[in-house]
Amino acid sequence: MSDMLEVKDLEVSYGKIKAVKGISFTVGQGEVVSLIGTNGAGKTTTLRTISGLLRPTKGSITFKGQRIDQTPAHEIVTLGLAHSPEGRRIFPQMTVEENLLLGAFTRSDGEIGKDLQAAYDLFPILGERSKQPAGTFSGGEQQMLAMGRAMMSRPQLLMLDEPSMGLSPLMMKRIMSTIKTLQEQGTTILLVEQNAQAALRLANHGYVLEVGKIVLTGTGRELLTSDEVRKAYLGED
Amino acid sequence: METFLQQLINGLTLGSLYALIAVGYTVVYGIVQLINFAHGEVFMIGAFGALATYLLLFQGQTALWILPIMIIGAMVAAVGTAVAMERVAYRPLRNAPRLAPLITAIGISVFLQEFIRLFFDKIPGTNFPSAKAKIPFPQIDVVTGKAFSPLAGVQIQRAAVFTIAMMALSALGLWYFINKTKTGRGMQAVSQDPDTARLMGINVDRIIVAAFAVGAALAGIAGVAQGLQITNINFKMGFIAGLKAFTAAVLGGIGNIQGAVIGGLVLGMAEAMITQYTGMLPDPFGQFGGSSWKDVWAFALLIIVLVFRPQGLLGAKVVDRA
């Protein structure tokens, strides 16, 4: 498997505070890679830097063989990298359909309507409520919308930041199985989660982040069965 | 009754002018949370742009078909000025503390006024009159001239009809732009959540330029309307008009486009009515009421709104549903 995304020695700071302290990892084509870790470990900062919202102070980010660490965020989207941000960040005053169409903002091909239908097929509830303002939706529905919106740019790599946050166990299962479906349909996925168990079950590879550093890496299965992860993240002793 | 109708028309005319300018304050605020205090000067430069177009191409003529070309001239001058000030003065301050762009705005405002005052007659290749004094604005067939009088005691100036019609047309155009075009949808997205808008592939810099340009285009139209109404223009005309339009934008709810239009109309109407009817109150000092007090009423209204309904009449929503 060739590497779709390569992050090398990445450092990101907020003023004088280093949030990410030199991490390196790769995401191979067709994989699901999970970054897990507690609050403040630097997971969200890492994703926001990859998608161009933040600039690294050191290190490089290479996507499909091209350096993107100085590329503006709005251009990174057009390269095939979509980011569904933490907290879903849907546009609350717009309808479901308008939200989805904004996901296709950079496209001008004739297949946007087709992809809109594909999003409705993936999440039928979105189709039923396509004209409703997205702000009236529940957390799970907003998460579906955020994922559907990210898919509207036809990404090769989809980055999901805490898709399970605040969801009921049932809804979480639904989201996780959708991630599996998207992988089977050929989308590479970089998943950031606090819910280590769910994230590692899906993952081909996993990385454990602690205060800005990668402390552990392995296949999803290896990490799930490792003592350190079980103790620190799965609440077992 | 005639007096009331007359003031209704005056208020509507004045309000339309305020509304056309107020949109510029509110759109820019909705996108970058900046009060562009130089927007009044954009309006003034619009008027001078229309005048320059006339003097260069049509001097001495009065045919109606000249007017659309003058409007285009006004819009080009106003949009050019607004886009340039965004690029040169505001963009470098995008991440500065809020006070910096605010002071810059006042600086630009003074600069533009003085620039026109000192240099309007020195533009190479032209022989424009000096802007140190008022300059007569071209009179155009149909839109200037004898007022209509549908009722005895009620006068409707032709330029007033023009102003109200342009306001209505602009409001429709703006609605279409915000809701139906890609750039308009991008503007809504940026005003709701700039970071997420960037993740959608929206170029925020370009949206900000579009916001300045849209506001300036309407201010340019307002500049022509004002010139036709007052029949002359001067380098200071943007100051009080800008301040009133800003008041209108706050009155309607800053950041809310619909609010700016409604706020403009309400302010214009209130100014006309209060000016008319306070003249009837007892006045022991002989100083009270009349048109010299009209600015007092406008700003008193602003203070009342800020105290009792600081979010404005329609609520300070983001740019959404124009």
| Residues B200, A153: C-beta atoms closer than 8 Å | yes
Of the candidates A147, A184, A187, which has an alpha carbon nearest to the alpha carbon of residue A167? A147
Q: B202 to chain A: which residues are within 8 Å by CB?
A: 74, 102, 105
Q: pLDDT by residue for chain B (322 residues), tens digit each?
A: 888 999 999 999 999 999 999 999 999 999 999 999 999 999 999 999 999 999 999 999 999 999 999 999 999 999 999 999 999 999 999 989 989 999 999 999 999 999 999 999 999 988 899 999 999 999 998 998 888 888 888 999 999 999 999 999 999 999 999 999 999 999 999 999 999 999 999 999 999 999 999 999 999 999 999 999 999 999 999 999 999 999 999 999 998 999 999 999 999 999 999 888 887 777 777 666 677 788 888 899 989 988 998 888 887 554 444 3
| Residues A91, B195: C-beta atoms closer than 8 Å | no
CA distances from B212 to A190, B34, B48, B86, B177 (A): 38, 11, 19, 7, 14
For residue A152, give how far its alpha carbon lies from the nearest alpha carbon of chain B (Å). Answer: 9
Chain B residues with CB-CB distance to A under 8 A?
A: 182, 185-186, 188-189, 192-193, 195-204, 317-318, 320-321
CA B156 to the chain's CA centroid: 21
Of the candidates B162, B140, B156, B138, which has an alpha carbon nearest to the alpha carbon of residue B225? B162
CB pairs under 8 A between A and B: 66
ipTM: 0.93
Of the candidates B2, B1, B34, B3, which has an alpha carbon nearest to the alpha carbon of residue B272? B3
CA distances from B304 to A70, B32, B248, B250, B309 (A): 49, 26, 13, 11, 8
Q: Which of B188, B193, B200 to mutate to test the interface with A (most CBs of A within 10 A)?
A: B200
Domain span including residue B100: 16-126+134-239
Task: Determine, yes or no, domain membership for B270.
Answer: no
| pLDDT for res A236 | 66
Task: Determine, yes or no, domain membership for B310.
Answer: no
**Residues of A numbered 13-72 whose beta carbons fall under 8 angstroms of chain B's beta carbons: which are they?**
51-53, 72
| Residues A149, B317: C-beta atoms closer than 8 Å | no
At A237, is the pLDDT very low, low, confident or very high (cuts 50, 70, 90)? Answer: low
Contact status, residue A81 vs residue A156, Cβ threshold 8 Å? yes
Cα–Cα distance, B154 to B165 (Å, whole number)? 19
The pTM assigned to this predicted structure is 0.91
**Hey, which residues does A145 pair with through a beta bridge?**
none
Q: How many domains does chain B have?
A: 1
For residue B185, give how far its alpha carbon lies from the nearest alpha carbon of chain A (Å). Answer: 8
Residues 6+ apart with CB under 8 A from B285: none
For residue B37, give how far its alpha carbon lies from the nearest alpha carbon of chain A (Å). Answer: 29
Domain ranges across chain A: 3-86+154-232
Q: What are phi and psi of B62, to 5 degrees?
A: -135, 10
Cα–Cα distance, A232 to A164 (Å, whole number)? 19
Residues in chain A: 237
Residue with tokens 């949109």: B23
Task: Find the CB nearest B200 among A52, A75, A103.
Answer: A103
Q: What are phi and psi of A192, to 5 degrees?
A: -105, 130
| Residues A102, B199: C-beta atoms closer than 8 Å | no
Q: What are phi and psi of B101, to 5 degrees?
A: -65, -30
For residue B191, give how far its alpha carbon lies from the nearest alpha carbon of chain A (Å). Answer: 10
Sign of CA dihedral A218, A224, A230, A234: positive
| Residues B195, A89: C-beta atoms closer than 8 Å | yes
One CATH from 3.30.200.20, 3.40.50.300, 2.120.10.30, 3.40.50.720 for A3-86+154-232: 3.40.50.300
Task: Determine, yes or no, domain membership for B2.
Answer: no
Q: What are phi and psi of A40, to 5 degrees?
A: 80, 10
